[in-house]
Amino acid sequence: MAGRDNVTQAATAPCASGRWQGNGLSDMRRRMVDRVATGLCWAATVLVLLMLFSILFVLVRNGVGGLRWITFVHVTLPPGQGGGLANAIAGSLIQTGLAVLIGAPVGLLVGIYLAEFTATDGRFINMVRFISDLLLSAPSILVGLFIYMIVVVPTGHFSGIAGALALSMLVVPVVVRTTEDMLRLVPLSMREAAIALGAPRWRVILFVCLRAARDGVATGILLALARVSGETAPLLFTSLGNMNWSVSPAAPMASLPVTIYQYAGAAYEDWTALAWTGALLITAGILMINITVRLGLGRNRK
């Protein structure tokens, strides 16, 4: 990569001297345009970085005051009575955990299908990959509506499991994508060696290819976990939220994002303060997972 810079500099040098270009005026204009464009690229990058730091700064400034013991051990209470986020934190952990437990195996299987069965059903595989990519960016609030119609309406009540199902629909496409990509990186010689030893195909896939791609696949699952743990829209109509301590997936269940949503718009100061604390917690968790994963990935790839 360092070579790229040398090439660039060496290549622009004749242009800077500009002697063989003839017209010095147009040459100067071209250099001015180049300077301005370069400056604008710098400005764009700095502006977006500023946004990121502004978000993190506001989160820390407004949320750090609520990082007290009681926030983690006490359930949500009516305004003015103190209270914490314990039920929301527990609910979020349960629902995202269930969502990954449901979604990751399905995503793994589909990822295996897309990577390993190309020879036999190519057409169908292209369609499945296309649909999975569509699901990856489908509006998450519509996922919530869908689960509301097929789970909440028939069962007659909101439930944590409905929330987990909605989230799992968002987990699947992420896991599919990374599993397929990682399985395709497994060298052919490894498969050939395993097949030559007489192993059936499913054992080759599960115990040789998948094991070789283990780190990448785990990364995909972690990224999916990070993505769904901040999702609010799919939970609004599925797990609804719960002011009391409840860990039963069959009952309405609180979650951090929904609690944040309910509290952020409230007129009570202690509620908005708790909303900021919840927001800080969830963002810190998600960014932590992302940074860990990216550092790990970078090390493996290089």
Partner 1 sequence: MDRSATSPSALTGVARGNGDAVFATIVRCAAVLILLGLGGMVAVMAWGARGAFATFGPAFIIDKAWNPVTQHFGAAAPVFGTLVTALLAIALAVPLAFGIAVWLTEIASARIAGVIGTLIQLLAAVPSIIFGMWGFAVLVPFMAHYVEPFAGHTLGRVPGIGPLFRGAPYGTGFLTGGMILAVMITPFISAVMRDVFLSMPAVLKESAYGLGMTRWEVVRRIILPWSRTSVVGGIMLGLGRALGETMAITFVIGNANHIGWSLFSPGNTIASLIALEFPESAMGSLKFSSLMAAGFLLMLISLGTLVCSRLLLRTRAAGR
Binding to partner 1 (CB under 8 A) within 242-301 occurs at 257, 260-261, 264-265, 275-276, 279, 282-283, 286-287, 290-291, 294, 298
Going by C-alpha positions, the residue among 293, 256, 300 that lies closest to residue 91 is 256
Q: How far apart are CA 127 and CA 65, in angstroms?
A: 50
Q: Which stretch binds partner 1 (CB under 8 A): 94-102, 127-135, 185-193, 245-253?
A: 127-135
Looking at residue 208, what DSSP letter applies?
A: I
Q: Residue 157, SS3?
A: coil
- C-beta closer to partner 1: residue 28 or 250: 28
* Nearest distance, CB of residue 125 and partner 1, angstroms: 8
- 98 or 256: whose CB is closer to partner 1? 256
Within 5-34, the residues that bind partner 1 by CB under 8 A are 5, 7-8, 11-12, 14-15, 20-21, 30-31, 33-34
Distances (CA, A) of 68 to 18, 64, 288: 65, 9, 20
Contact pick of 101, 150, 185, 193 for partner 1 (by CB under 8 A) = 150
Q: What is Dmax (Cα atoms) for the chain?
A: 81
Cα–Cα distance measured from residue 286 to residue 126, given in angstroms and rounded to the nearest whole number: 32
Give the per-residue contact string, 57-96, with partner 1 (x = CB under 8 A; - = no): -xx--x----------------------------------
Candidates 65-73, 75-83, 110-118, 209-217; binding stretch for partner 1 (CB under 8 A): 110-118
List the interface residues with partner 1, window 168-197 (CB under 8 A): 169, 172-173, 176
How far is residue 157 from each of residues 97, 146, 170, measured CA to CA in Å? 21, 15, 22
- Choice from 86, 128, 190, 273 touching partner 1 (CB under 8 A): 128
- Residue written as tokens 């949500």? 76
Among 67, 73, 149, 247, binds partner 1 (CB under 8 A): 149
Smallest gap from residue 32 Cβ to partner 1 (A) = 10
Among the listed residues 70, 72, 101, 124, the single contact to partner 1 using CB under 8 A: 124
**Taking CB under 8 A as the criterion, which residues in 222-241 touch partner 1?**
226-227, 229-233, 236-237
Residue 137 CB partners (closer than 8 Å, separation 6+): none
Say if residue 223 is exposed, middle or buried (CB neighbours under 10 Å; 0-12, 13-18, 19+): buried
Contact assessment for residue 162 and residue 151, using Cβ atoms and an 8 Å cutoff: yes
* Nearest to partner 1 of 98, 108 (CB atom): 108
Toward partner 1, which CB reaches closer, 77 or 290?
Answer: 290
Binding region for partner 1 (CB under 8 A) out of 67-75, 114-122, 183-191, 243-251 = 114-122
Q: Is the dihedral of CA 268, 272, 273, 275 positive or negative?
A: positive
Pick between residue 16 and residue 69 the one whose CB is nearest to partner 1.
Answer: 16
Tokens of 288: 């932590």
- Scanning 185-268, the segments in alpha helix (DSSP H) are 188-196, 201-203, 210-212, 214-229, 233-236, 256-264
If the CB atoms of residues 154 and 188 are measured against partner 1, the closer one turns out to be: 154
Q: How far is CA 106 from the centre of its chain?
A: 17
